[in-house]
Every structure is written in C-alpha cells, then in structure tokens.
C-alpha cells in the first residue's frame, strides 16, 4: 500500500470518526501532494518518495512554527499544541533519522578524520561533508548545532 493510499484511508477514517485534527492535517498534506504532482519533472514511479518528501517538508515547516507560537506564550499555546500533534501524527510516514548520540558519533569521527578539532572555521566544511555523506540519515539542524558544540 502506498503512502498516498494510506493517507486516503486515514482521511476517510478521520471523517467517519469526526476527528477534525487528523482530518485537517491529512487534507493539508494531500493538497501539498497534489501541488508536488503538478511540478515539472514529477515521476509517478517515485510516488512514495515524493509523498515522503512533502510530509517531511511540511513537518519541518510546522516544527519551525511551533517555536514561533511558543514564543507568544499563552496566546500561541493552542496553535503550538495543534502543530505538535500534526508533526507527531505525520512522523510515522517520515524516514527515521539518527538520534542525537549517533549523530554526535558521526560528527566526532568526521572531525577526527579531517583533523580540525578546535577549529571553529571548519564548521561549514564538517557540516557540509556530513550532509553530503548522510543527508537522508541525519537532521540538518541537529548536525549544525552539534558541529558548533563540538568544534570550539
């Protein structure tokens, strides 16, 4: 079963159970999938990859929005909670990334390999090499943060 088929089944189930939160997030993702399908170069044979990319992109945007809404304090708490639900709900269709400890080990190994320990100016180089070699396995924001922690 493709991810798009699973999402359609989830939408139907959410509508039957009158689950507005689930219904809304699935509808939004389906809208973004439709837009992605209309882009030049869309390849139907890579449907699941496209859908996963849309879900990952949407989740990243919502994750950024969560921190913004949290900055509003009590006024943004409801929206932050709604977005947290969406990110959590969609996480089952996203590729699993390495956790912080595994990412830290990768970065430490790359720093040792390059011999740039203590050189803050090498942060971009280390981050770039990690992302080039492990793009699908790691979270870019986490890599950036850890590289900056480990280099100075």
Question: For 81-106, how does the pLDDT look when each residue is reduced to its tens digit (9 = 90+)?
Answer: 999 999 999 999 987 888 899 999 99
In the chain, which segments carry CATH 1.10.1510? 3-93
pLDDT single digits (tens) 27-44: 999 999 999 999 999 999
Q: How confident is the model at residue 73 (pLDDT cuts 50, 70, 90)?
A: very high
Q: Tell me which of 3.30.70, 1.10.3470, 1.10.287, 1.10.10 is the CATH number of domain 100-150.
A: 1.10.10
Q: In this predicted structure, what is the pLDDT of residue 117?
A: 84
Q: In this predicted structure, what is the pLDDT of residue 135?
A: 82
Nearest to 40 by CA among 27, 30, 50, 28: 50
Contacting residues for 21 by C-beta, under 8 A, at least 6 apart: 82, 85, 86, 89
Do 76 and 70 contact (CB within 8 A), yes or no? yes
For the record, the structure tokens of 142 come out as 């986490």
Q: Judge whether residue 152 has pLDDT over 80.
A: no
pTM, whole model, 2 decimals? 0.71
For the record, the structure tokens of 123 come out as 């942060």
In the chain, which segments carry CATH 1.10.10? 100-150
Nearest to 83 by CA among 100, 68, 72: 68
Q: Is 2.60.40 the CATH number for 3-93?
A: no
């Amino acid at each position: 079963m493709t991810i798009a088929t699973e999402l359609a089944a989830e939408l139907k189930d959410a509508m039957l159970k009158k689950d507005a939160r689930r219904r809304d997030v699935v509808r939004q993702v389906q809208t973004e999938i439709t837009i992605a399908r209309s882009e030049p170069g869309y390849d139907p044979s890579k449907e699941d990859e496209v859908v996963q990319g849309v879900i990952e992109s949407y989740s990243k945007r919502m994750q950024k929005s969560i921190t913004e809404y949290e900055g509003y304090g009590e006024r943004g708490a409801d929206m932050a909670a709604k977005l947290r639900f969406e990110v959590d709900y969609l996480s089952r269709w996203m590729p699993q990334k390495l956790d912080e400890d595994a990412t830290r080990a990768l970065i430490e190994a790359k720093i040792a390999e390059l011999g740039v320990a203590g050189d803050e100016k090498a942060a971009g180089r280390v981050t770039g090499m990690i992302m080039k070699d492990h793009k699908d396995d790691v979270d870019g924001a986490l890599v950036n943060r850890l590289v900056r922690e480990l280099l100075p």
